[in-house]
Amino acid sequence: MPSSTEKLTTHHNFIDGGWVPSVSGQTFENRNPANTDDLIGVFQKSTAADVSRAIDAAKRAYEHWRLVPAPRRAELLFRAAQLIADRKEALARDMTREMGKVLDETRGDVQEAIDMTFFMAGEGRRQYGQTVPSELRDKFAMSVRQPLGVSAIITPWNFPMAIPSWKIIPALVCGNTVVFKPATLTPLSALNFVRILEEAGVPAGVVNLVTGGGGDVGSAMLVNDDVRVVSFTGSTEVGRIVSEKAAPSFKKVHLEMGGKNVIMVMDDANLDLAVEGCLWGGFGTTGQRCTAASRVVVHERVYRPFLDRFVTRARALRVGDGLDPGSQMGPLVSAEQRETVMQYVEIGAKEGATLACGGHALTTGAYAKGFFHEPTIFADVSPQMRIAREEIFGPVVSVMRCQSVEEAVAIANGVQYGLSASIYTQDVNRAFSVMRDVYTGIFYVNAPTIGAEVHLPFGGTKATGNGHREAGTAALEVFSEWKSVYVDFSGKLQRAQIDTADL
């Protein structure tokens, strides 16, 4: 198979251990968002028929894979983790080229896939159950994890390798097989990841890749009765559709969706540190992280000095091609994404917020062929404004005032999402009480809203998630089910709750 550094023009689906074209005969292009003249490759525009083939292959492979002992499954994953590590730089470059974020960040994305794969491979020797005393004599009681079967994996474009790894690797270590549909904007990183799994020795049919649109490929996965678990990361809007479509066949559905994350800067905060955090949280990945700090709530006593420093630093950010080592912020991923940002800039201005910096698309000179936009800060934002409530998914930060920590918490909790929140304060009592009172899945003290590590649960509350978590051992809960096992070695019928053991 070709390596990630070789330039292929046409890429295929991976079904039942072979690289095959879609039955549709149709393809779509993948172009560099920093320079649309750069055609990265052509990928299969697949249909429901391709999905059906992939699911059939995954179903057949499951009968073998589920019986491979988990520590042996894990050996393949250790090998895959090492292969990703060996190719980290080439994989990161491919990723920057196809989705735009700066190289440091795509290296981080690949590193997350390495960390997750090593971590989950370790779970091949754990997957602990419980052994408990039975209430009856001569009876043994325990619980074991069992896989579910075929898993449908649907992922977004903002973490093109990390997010697939968060889902595919735990699915595999638990003994499930996979049909993977990546975002149409980042199929190359998905393909690179699957190639590595193939090279590591994952058997035919255990992992299948089908590229194409959500309406065609994604939908077909949701209505197929042979799919038992769906793991989706993407927008709340599409997550709701996924949930509804999967419900009639009672699939297990794991959803990670939108966010409107908040950094609270209190009057005793180290302001320089808070400004650093807000820059990284707000403009890292061009604001296109589910955990992006798109809201900053600042105590009125430090509002003005904070805002002045934040604006000065945001203005100085170097926007450019992510492959250029001098760039600190890359382009938006697509023309549509930049259009959304521009619309929200208009909305913010109409709502009466003060445009403190930025606010324009960058369209001339070196920016002419990409989807660049200035880092943008709105000040004097009120919590009711749309720019303070809706996910923008771009380099736009809304700064609000508060008069107390209680008001900051009320603003933090006052949106439909609940992914990540953070507080900058030197007061440990305040930090702990806010940690308790903010209803999110992730919380930081004196650090921005981004920076999750793979061995802790990741996910959000309310419209961000549906109660599951990925990463950490929590991911095992998504990709396995409990089986409680009772072994009666008394040689007679013992009726639970009716017969009692003698003292």
Which positions are annotated as active-site residues? 256, 290
Task: Please identify which residue in 117, 231, 233, 286 interacts with ligand NAD, judged by CB under 6 A.
Answer: 233
Choose between 307 and 478: whose C-beta lies nearer to ligand NAD. Answer: 478
Please report how close the Cβ of residue 290 comes to ligand NAD at its closest, in angstroms.
3
Residue placing its CB nearer to ligand NAD in the complex, 158 or 494:
158
**Residue among 254, 273, 250 nearest 263 (CA):** 273
* Locus of tokens 């062929």: 369
Q: Does 155 help bind ligand NAD (rule: CB under 6 A)?
A: yes
Cα gap 455→473, rounded to integer Å: 7
d(CA 400, CA 415): 14
- Residue from the set 20, 83, 141, 241 that interacts with ligand NAD by CB under 6 A: 241
Q: What residues are paired with 152 via a beta bridge?
A: 179, 230
H helix or E strand, kind and range, residue 20: strand 18-20
Nearer to ligand NAD, 124 or 170 (CB): 170
- Nearest CB to ligand NAD, comparing residues 306 and 479: 479
Please report whether residue 124 would count as binding ligand NAD according to CB under 6 A. no
d(CA 383, CA 399) in angstroms, rounded, equals 10
Determine, following the binding rule CB under 6 A, whether residue 194 of this chain makes contact with ligand NAD: no
Question: According to the binding rule CB under 6 A, does residue 235 interact with ligand NAD?
Answer: yes
**Smallest distance, Å, CB 445 to ligand NAD?**
21
CA 20 to chain CA mean position, Å: 28
**Shortest distance in whole angstroms from residue 233 CB to ligand NAD:** 5
Window 259-288: residues binding ligand NAD (CB under 6 A): 259
User: Token pair for residue 171?
Assistant: 């699915």
Size of the site for ligand NAD (CB under 6 A): 30
238 binding ligand NAD? (CB under 6 A)? yes
* Stretch of 82-90, 250-258, 371-379, 407-415 contacting ligand NAD, by CB under 6 A: 250-258
Q: Is 164 in the site for ligand NAD (CB under 6 A)?
A: no
Asked if 105 interacts with ligand NAD (CB under 6 A), we say no
Burial of 196 by CB count in 10 Å (0-12 exposed, 13-18 middle, 19+ buried)? buried
Beta-carbon count within 10 A of 208 CB: 28
Residue keyed to tokens 């009681």: 141
Q: Who's near 381: CB < 8 A, 6+ residues apart?
A: 348, 353, 387, 388, 398, 399, 400
The answer to whether 234 contacts ligand NAD (rule: CB under 6 A) is yes
Length of the chain: 503
- Cβ nearer to ligand NAD, comparing 425 with 464: 464
- Part of the chain binding ligand NAD (CB under 6 A), chosen from 67-75, 202-210, 256-264, 379-387: 256-264
Say whether residue 157 binds ligand NAD (CB under 6 A). Answer: yes
Tell which one of 283, 393, 443, 479 touches ligand NAD (CB under 6 A).
393
Per-position x/- string for 457-496, each x denoting binding to ligand NAD as judged by CB under 6 A, each - no binding: ---x---x--------------------------------
The helix (H) or strand (E) run that includes residue 5 is: none
**Shortest Cβ 181–ligand NAD spacing (Å):** 6
Distance in Å, CB of 237 to ligand NAD, minimum: 7
Distance, CA of 445 to CA of 433 (rounded, Å) = 11
- Reading the block at residue 154, the tokens are 């649907």
Helix (H, G, I), strand (E, B) or coil at 251: coil
- Residue-wise over 244-273: b if at least 16 C-beta within 10 A, else e? ebbeeeebbbbbbbbbbbbbbbbbebebee
SS3 label, residue 173:
helix
**Among positions 58, 183, 196, 434, the unique one binding ligand NAD when judged by CB under 6 A:** 183
**Strand spans (E) along 9-50:** 13-15, 18-20, 27-32, 35-44
Q: Name residues contacting ligand NAD, limited to 419-458 (CB under 6 A).
A: 419
Positions that interact with ligand NAD (CB under 6 A):
154-159, 181, 183-184, 213-215, 218-219, 233-235, 238, 241-242, 256-259, 290, 391, 393, 419, 460, 464
